Structure 1
Amino acid sequence: MRYTMMNHYVIRFFLVCQLVLGAMFLPSIAAAVSQPEAQEAEPEKGPHRGRMLRDGNFAVELAIFETGVPPEFRVWVSDDGEPVSPDSVDLQVKLTRLGNVVDDIRFRAEGNYLRGDTVIYEPHSFVVTLIAHYQGKTYRWEYDNFEGRTLIGDGVAEAMGIATETAGSATLHQTIRVYGKLVYPPSAKRQIQARFDGVIKQMHVGLGEPVSKGQVLITVESNESLKTYQIQAPMAGVVSELFASAGEQTAGRTLLEVTNTGTLLAELAVYPADRHKVKTGAPVTLSINGVDAPLSSTVSGSRTSLRSDQARLFLADINNADGLLSAGLFVSSDIEVDTFEVPLAVKRSGLQSFRDFTVVYAKVGEEYEVRMLELGREAGPWVEVLGGLEPGTEYVTENSYIIKADIEKSGASHDH
């Protein structure tokens, strides 16, 4: 006796196509789902809320029991409506899971029922084959007990952007998110003064003008010798401040300022809860408004004093050779505080919720099925997996919500 849900898979397959791609692109699919087949009747339930399997007067109730124990099968047998002693029945159940993984379960008598010897691990999704021997006769049933499973053709999955990867080991980089701004390092600025007081005969540069090292900036006529001399740029940079003009006396004051814009410092505020985690040399990834690609650097040190809000400013050098960045820009940054290898991890983008579990969707052929996960540490795009998934499993990493929506639409129940 065989019960199947394949017709539901086909209907759901067409519905997903229509939902995601639109009826205007898939008119044939829209027509195919316009008159779905009548839904199969719910299977008969027994007094212990298990599934009733009948052959003439002989009946078996198969239930998953998990009150106070890990999930296990329990079976009650009756003949012509009367309970049958469990000692008089030889029973075996075979569960065929997705990917042809088979669990063989034997039973022993306990009280007025038969108790399975194997934990029924999640997901409870399999083809059930039950064979019972009673009074010289063999009874056999087979039915689908699927949950969290759906069928989507590879062509449709590709069109919907469903992407997969193989689960395996990964290097996790644990980071903390901090914020700050760009400033110039102290050595970036030079204030230019005249060596001997005199009259400024000529200003050779203007505000904002780039200068090279050794370039003439100012010509001065000495008050004592009445001879002219030139002031040259001590370094390459930009004229960032201009305090004097031709014809004025130098008078011992600062005449202009040159700033080397080739290097900036990111001042990153780290609060007490995370301060002990940040080490000199730690990798830093910075994001700046208006800059498409993130910038990479390392922690070069920190300010000795704390801010008024108790944050310490950690520093990271930023290459600004192209001159696109400016002091004062606000930045967000991820500082790496730990790196570790894990034997099994999945992409965070593939995670979904299913009942009370966090899951990914395993892919076998053109079928997808939930895998309930026990999760560990998180870092960046990765999450460590402690249980619920076998290494080497192909799983959905992108657009997994489409799989979830299709499964929820199918209404496949958790049959206990």
Structure 2
Amino acid sequence: MNIRKNLLVWLTILHVALLAPLALASSGPAEAEAEPEKGPHRGRMLRDGEFAVELSIFEIGVPPEFRVWVTHEGKAVAPKDVKLNVKLTRLGNVVDDINFYAQGAFLRGDMEIYEPHSFQVSVFASYQGKRFKWHYDNFEGRTTIETAVAEAMEIQTGIAGGATLHQTIPLYGKLFYPPGASRTVTARFNGVITKSHITLGDSVKKGQVLYTVESNESLRPYQVTAPMKGRLTAVFAYEGEQANGQPLLEITDTSTLAAQLQVFPKDYAKVAIGAPVTLSVSGSDETLSGEVTYLAPGITDNQARTLWVSIQNVPESLTAGSFAKGLVEVATIDVELAVKKTGLQGFRDFTVVYAKVGEEYEVRMLELGREDDTWIEVLGGLEPGTEYVTENSYILKADIEKSGASHDH
């Protein structure tokens, strides 16, 4: 495992090292282009001779939209005299076609500029019979990682779609042997135990001979046999002793463990008989499954109610008295769109996943809903069928933060 981790670290360093010269080259002679000219409205200035367009993303009190101010020879141009169109080409060749209409002293775009604000921008304007056009990249939250490098870094992806959420609550308690798991054995007739065929802790089968007893009445020997399979958990009588109706031993079926878990008042109403339960036991790596079979009507001194959980396929290594944690399912919800929580990262003020198109990765700002331990519902910001990063997304976050891509308003 350490070798694998070291390899991943080395590959990450190598990836950064390979990209560094490109980053330096782009920030050298073109340093002036790294920070585009801003206009009086904090928008990007686009110039062609004496004709200039200031393109700004405005989002105060409204969803993000384009607003444009136009000047010619340094003087404001009436918005109605300019025809303007902007095309935004997003990752995956999705094109937003935006037209403009005059409003007051500016031109206003006719559609929302939804997140992420990451696209190739093409601006087309016409004024006094002349046509103008500009093209530039406005990328944020985007990076490129070669397939071989992504595979070596174990960057895994999945397809966004529907999921079933299994909401659970954690409960704590102990394992125990349920009623009927233990039985005591007595002799049919009074007499002397002449032979003991077992010792404490032995495993026995149903019908196996446990004792030989000589009857006090007939003076003939008879055998005491096991009424069930299990393990000898207590021995009360030995050779030479009288078997006069008292218990001789106890047999416990150790394959039928259950759990007693404590439910506190705020969760009383959430737990139902038959609810699935996943159990983990202290000192064991085993994950067990079962269901709620009984909810005690009374409460304990700490105001908890006790529920019983039957356990399926009990390993021989487990025993009564072990501490247990149970995740009890309290709701099952089908949602139309969900992503794995392991893919979530923070970006600006958003929670995001990274969409993958070819060898390019880009943030998708999510509106989130209900969740369970594995999945979280997506209410907006991601299209169904999108391939997104599910594992090791932190590598992409680090790569994007290193590049320092800005949010151009």
Equivalent residue, structure 1, for 2:342: 349
1:155 corresponds in structure 2 to 148
Q: How does 1:211-250 map to 2 (within 5 A)?
A: 211-250=204-243
Q: Does 1:29 align with 2:22?
A: no
State which of 244, 251, 269 in structure 2 corresponds to 1:276: 269
After TM superposition, the structure 1 stretch with the greater mean CA deviation from structure 2, 26-35 or 233-242, is: 26-35
- Corresponding position: 1:174 with 2:174: no
Q: 1:63 to 1:34 in 2, by over 3 A?
A: closer
Residue 362 of structure 1 deviates from its aligned partner by 0.6
Which of 51, 64, 67 is the aligned partner of 1:71? 64
Q: Does 1:142 align with 2:135?
A: yes
Matched residues in 1 for 2:274 and 2:399: separation? 47
Q: Which position in structure 2 is the counterpart of 1:303?
A: 296
Residues 192-251 of structure 1 deviation map (CA, whole Å, 9 limit, x = unaligned): 233444433222211001112222222333445544433221111111111222223345
Report Cα offsets for 1:293-344 as digits up to 9, x if no partner.
Answer: 4222222223343222222222222245652321112222222222222111
SS in 1 for 2:27: coil
Correspondence for 1:12: none
**C-alpha RMSD over aligned residues:** 2.4
Which residue of 94, 113, 116 maps to 1:120? 113
Asked if the contact 1:92/1:105 (under 8 Å) is kept, the reply is yes
SS of residue in 2 equivalent to 1:414: coil
1:174 maps to a residue whose letter is: Q
Deviations, residues 362-392 of structure 1 (Å, cap 9, x unaligned): 1111111111111111023111111111111
Question: How many residues are treated as equivalent by the alignment?
Answer: 399
Q: Which string of whole-angstrom CA distances, capped at 9 and with x for unpartnered residues, describes residues 240-270 of structure 1?
A: 1112222233454322111111211122222
> Secondary structure at the residue paired with 2:401?
helix
> 1:95, 1:322 → 2: CA distance?
60
Cα distance change, pair 413–337 in 1 and its aligned pair in 2 (3 A): same
CA displacement 1:37-77 (0-9 Å, x = unmatched): 43533101111111111111211111111111111111111
Which of 40, 46, 50 is 1:47 aligned to?
A: 40
1:369 and 2:373 matched = no
Are positions 1:333 and 2:323 aligned together? no
329-338 or 45-54: bigger deviation = 329-338
Farther-moved stretch of structure 1 (318-327 vs 100-109): 318-327
2:404 maps to 411
Gaps of 5+ in 2: 1-6
Does residue 203 of the first structure (1) align with residue 196 of the second (2)?
yes
190-199 or 27-36, larger mean C-alpha shift: 27-36
Match of residue 194 from structure 1: 187
What secondary structure is seen at the aligned counterpart in 2 of 1:254?
coil
- How high is the TM-score relative to the length of structure 1? 0.89
Return closer, same or farther for 1:33/1:126 CA change in 2, 3 Å cut-off: closer
Structure 2 counterpart of 1:59, one-letter code: A
2:384 maps to which of 375, 383, 391: 391
Show the counterpart of 1:38: 27
- Distance verdict in 2 for CA 1:332–1:104, change over 3 Å: same
Q: Which residue of 2 aligns with 1:91?
A: 84
Q: Which residue of structure 1 aligns with residue 4 of structure 2?
A: none
What is the CA deviation profile of residues 88-120 of structure 1, one whole-angstrom value per residue up to 9, with x for unaligned ones?
211111111111111111111112111111111
Q: Find the residue that maps to 1:306 and give its secondary structure.
A: coil
**Which position in structure 2 is the counterpart of 1:104?**
97
User: For residues 363 and 317 of structure 1, what CA distance do their matches in structure 2 show?
Assistant: 44
One-letter amino acid matched to 2:392: N
Query: 68-77 or 332-341, which moves further after superposition?
Result: 332-341
Counterpart of 1:21 in structure 2: which amino acid?
Answer: L
* Aligned CA distance change for structure 1 residues 112 and 32 (closer, same or farther; 3 Å): closer
1:18–1:239 distance in 2 versus 1, CA, 3 Å: closer
The aligned amino acid for 2:352 is V
Determine the structure 2 residue equivalent to 1:80. 73
For 2:322 and 2:391, how far apart are their aligned partners in 1? 34
Specify whether residues 45 and 321 from structure 1 end up closer, same or farther in structure 2 by C-alpha distance, changes over 3 A only. closer
The farther-off stretch of 187-196 and 55-64 is 187-196
CA distance in 1 between partners of 2:351 and 2:16 (Å) = 36
Structure 1: distance between partners of 2:146 and 2:215 = 88
Match of 2:81, as an amino acid?
A: S
SS in 2 for 1:404: helix
Which SS does the other structure have where 1:187 is aligned? coil
Q: Distance in 2 between matches of 1:231 and 1:344?
A: 64
Structure 1 alignment gaps of length 5 or more: 1-16
Instruction: Report percent identity of matched pairs.
Output: 62
1:67–1:322 CA distance, 2 compared to 1 (3 A):
closer
Asked whether the equivalents of residues 288 and 314 of structure 2 are also in contact (C-alpha less than 8 Å), the reply is no
Q: Is the 8 A contact 2:12 2:153 kept in 1?
A: no
